[in-house]
Structure 1
Amino acid sequence: MSAVCHAAVAVVDRLPGSSTHVMHASKSGLDPAAYEGISVYFNETNSEDIEDIKQYHQRGRSLDSSHSASISFTFKDEDVPAPGSRSVISRAIQVPLANTLFQTGNQSTLSTSKWVLQPGSSGFSCLEKSEPASLAINLPGQSTTAELAKTTYNVPIFAVTPPRELGAAMGNIIRQLIFDKSVPASEELERALTEYFASQKLPQQALSVWALVIPRAVFSQLKEGQGPETSSDTIFQPAEPFKTGSDSWEPLQSSIIGTYIEAGAHMHRVLSGGGGWGQKRGLLSLDPHVSYNPEEEHSWSGQIEERFSEPKELAGVASPGDFIQFFVSPTNLSTPLPANDPGDNSNLAGDSLQRHVVSSSLVFGTTFSAIDETPTTWTSEASQSGQSDLIVSPHFGALSQQGISLKIERVSTSVPRSESRVVCQTKLDVPCMRLNRVTYNRKGP
């Protein structure tokens, strides 16, 4: 009987250290927790995974060669549902590939192939090869009741404003916030950033800002302490956004971001805003894209004027009644990113990790742009450990300079019918962020 093997090869920007490592970023703005090397994943493929690959083979390269290819990884874990129901949580992570134009002549490098080993043959023979525009791979979820899974987020940003209710918003444009009274959307953010620059003794300059949009129902759920592994006191307690003379961030806020996202909030980079007059006064424009698919970018083409002049209602990033909170990324991470944050979404409650051993580790995230890199700045994980080379097992992952996209679905498996619901779909493009997923097996009997 012949054996068939499917292979997928992709070039990404960097590889992450394992989720058990503490990650630092240097003052130069680089991310020494990102490495060069090869990350390999072996798995017995079922028919569903093979069908996914075939579908992407048929699509072929996108007509718009300016867009890089991407690869998506999906894994499913047992959920903690309401009594009498059964469900799983599906997380799909899209990773844009590295720009290899000057190395290979292609915008990105992604190939798939099918190989067969015939009885009596000494090696595999290639049956087919393709260069798809994108690829989806299903990774195995929890396989037994003895196996536990833990998903954590490390997002090195800190809040500069508290959550505020949206008074007016359309599409990806935020017009008014409500606290005490209605104010232009950019007013509080501009004031907070001015205070930030003053506290750091910095001249005012361009600064990356992210907005966390929290749907009204999610905000109420978390405020009442009904969210996954959280409490309202932890999330909504007022906190000093930054300390005078210090550019540090709190690890607690990193775990809070994960709690928000797992409950249904989504993050967007602030593209522009502030100033203006008349109807445009104080507007903020958010990145409307939630993935790195070229077709999504085309559907969002248009200017601010068009969005406010269209008579029909737009399905947008945020709606009046939702809440929004603004965050900034520190210029250096003087506090390390912990390997495992409190307040994460996991099914380890009440079970001691000391009774388990790591069976697999997945890490996906972002790294700084290669424009800041110098050959002497980067060191391998092996050299940092004092070894000439290093194999980290059982560990797999990828980092992108562009960011990653995350889609979370809750899939009900209750009889007689099953259904799925999208909990969250968002981009995560904060530099040095990590999404860690670790599975554990119980030790011994």
Structure 2
Amino acid sequence: MGTVAVQTPQDTNIREVISKINPEPRGKPSRPNEAPSLLVLLVTPSFAQHALDTDLPLKVLERFQENPTISKPLDALIAVVDRLPVPRNAPDGVEGIGYAFITNPSPSHVDSQLPLQPNASKPGSLSFDLSTVSHHGPRRVIAQMPLAQTIFSTGLPSTLIYTRYQFDPLSGHLRTQTSQRLESVTLPMPEDVSAGSVRLRAPLIPLTFPRLVVSSMGNIVRKLSPLPQPHENNSAESNSGDGQAASPTVFSASQELEAAVSTYFAARGMSPEPVQVWALIMPEDAGQKYPFRSLLNSVLKNNAKAIQQMMVDDRTNPMASGRLLGALSVGARLCKVLSGGGGWGKKAGLLSLDPDSQYSTRELRGDHGWDFTFEGDTTEEMMAAGRKQALGEIVKEGERIVFFLLGPKNLLKDPGADASSYFPAFVLGALPSSTENEQFDAEARHESGEAAGLTHYPWRFGALSEGGMALNVSQPGGPTTQTKVDAPYAVMTAYCFREEKPVAELNK
């Protein structure tokens, strides 16, 4: 697998890009079998029209010195994505082509295909299924990546094409058997790709301590309070002077957040400006679990000086450590704060969180409709059940919540390779919307650090999406967490062992 980065796509034709593909062998070839091989091609918008060319996969295969299909059938998937990740601290990614050839893939990529629906109004998605090993045992991560919008280039909301080729013994070539436009598909990635580890980082700066959610409904957070300290209980020590139990401090959801944003600007010597905020929602027992303590040690200890230091010193940022995935595996979710603060009456101080934790080509709740069963012993119970179905259950009372501010895009540096054991081979990430950032293309070309022309990166594959990504994270015996990770420049990296393994599913 690899990526060809294109510095000036407007001056480059597809033949030039393909000519730079130079696959590097790795591992041992898989045993001969009759199952179709799989070729995955990720192309960027400048080359979107070529995704409709059923000969494109065959042209790419010509770059392999040895015929990797022999006489086997071939499955090919072509997707148009917003950008491709490359090394050298290019957070905005590049245009070009990424390729991955798998000689012995799992057949589940065929079963997971969803044909493009006529009523699709949003881009489809390409999901990657990764299996890895953490300090706490095996972990599975399914990452859903929204595709690029291609309505003006291919006439489709997004472009995802599946083609099956059969070997023709008379001509000695592969011939197209069937081709289909897809809305979504899930690709199981070979274990080689994530054999080292999988790390998730986000350029998010902590603003507040963990707070207890006192009042919420669906995706709306109303009231918060400080977490009870370990020594606090219902004994006489916690009673007020008149013998009544002391009431915990309760404040509106936006109160502390608004003050923390002002503190951030003052600490950085900046004038106030619009900001983007995310919330990390954690289960009640978060403080007792190692992944949370490892990620947010200073924050969990209510260390005010540590938070102030994180506001000005990017090197101390815990979200850049790569430990975020561990927190998600034990129940944490990341949600963007859509609106909040201000208001009058009952709406004063409320915070509204993103109600969706995954992506769909239609309205998520509209896919299934409403199921009004009128179950419940009382009218109040039936109304509560209806509200839960309509609003979802993004945040629950009793959970913990920490707020983060989106930091500068250069907060996360390319981790590079570990010379002793492994290197970053597979990268997925989130980008800001290019429609909101007029300098996106210019900055992406400037910061890629590439000389004018084409550059081939062997064993570097992945995609960057302006829609962010949605993760489904699970471990045996633990919860299954479904969450978006859509903070711009958030990145998930799978590390591959340097040394060749006895069994390798990736032939080239």
What TM-score, normalized by structure 1, do the two folds share?
Answer: 0.78
1:78 touches 1:142 (CA, 8 Å); kept in 2?
no
2:134 touches 2:197 (CA, 8 Å); kept in 1?
no
Matches within 5 A, 1:324-403: 324-330=401-407, 332-333=408-409, 335-339=411-415, 355-358=420-423, 361-371=425-435, 372-374=437-439, 376-379=442-445, 384-386=449-451, 388-403=453-468
Structure 1 stretches lacking a partner, 5+ long? 25-30, 82-86, 342-352, 413-420
Matches within 5 A, 1:304-343: 310-312=383-385, 314=388, 316-330=393-407, 332-333=408-409, 335-339=411-415
Matches within 5 A, 1:35-434: 35-46=94-105, 49-56=106-113, 59-80=114-135, 88-142=138-192, 148-179=195-226, 181-200=249-268, 202-217=270-285, 219-222=286-289, 226-227=290-291, 230=294, 233-234=297-298, 236-237=300-301, 238=303, 239-242=305-308, 248=314, 250-255=316-321, 256-293=323-360, 294=362, 296-298=364-366, 310-312=383-385, 314=388, 316-330=393-407, 332-333=408-409, 335-339=411-415, 355-358=420-423, 361-371=425-435, 372-374=437-439, 376-379=442-445, 384-386=449-451, 388-411=453-476, 422-434=479-491
Quote the Cα distance in structure 2 between the aligned partners of 1:247 and 1:113.
Answer: 50
Structure 2 stretches lacking a partner, 5+ long? 1-33, 35-70, 227-247, 371-379, 503-508
Amino acid across the alignment from 1:62: Q
Percentage identity across paired residues of the two chains: 26
How many corresponding residue pairs? 393
Amino acid across the alignment from 2:176: C
1:362 touches 1:395 (CA, 8 Å); kept in 2?
yes
Taking structure 1 as reference, are residues 428 and 245 closer, same or farther at Cα in structure 2, changes over 3 Å only?
closer
Quote the Cα distance in structure 2 between the aligned partners of 1:198 and 1:368.
Answer: 25
1:170 touches 1:308 (CA, 8 Å); kept in 2?
no
Quote the Cα distance in structure 2 between the aligned partners of 1:321 and 1:377.
Answer: 43
Amino acid across the alignment from 1:311: A
Amino acid across the alignment from 1:440: F
Amino acid across the alignment from 1:118: D
1:156 touches 1:337 (CA, 8 Å); kept in 2?
no
Q: Tell me, what secondary structure is at the counterpart of 2:482?
A: strand
Amino acid across the alignment from 1:288: P
1:355 touches 1:442 (CA, 8 Å); kept in 2?
no
1:157 touches 1:249 (CA, 8 Å); kept in 2?
no
Q: Tell me, what secondary structure is at the counterpart of 1:437?
A: strand
In the TM superposition, residue 41 of structure 1 has moved relative to its aligned partner by: 0.7
1:407 touches 1:422 (CA, 8 Å); kept in 2?
no
Q: CA RMSD in A?
A: 3.4
Quote the Cα distance in structure 1 between the aligned partners of 2:263 and 2:201.
Answer: 26
In the TM superposition, residue 423 of structure 1 has moved relative to its aligned partner by: 3.1
What TM-score, normalized by structure 2, do the two folds share?
Answer: 0.69
Quote the Cα distance in structure 2 between the aligned partners of 1:250 and 1:260.
Answer: 18
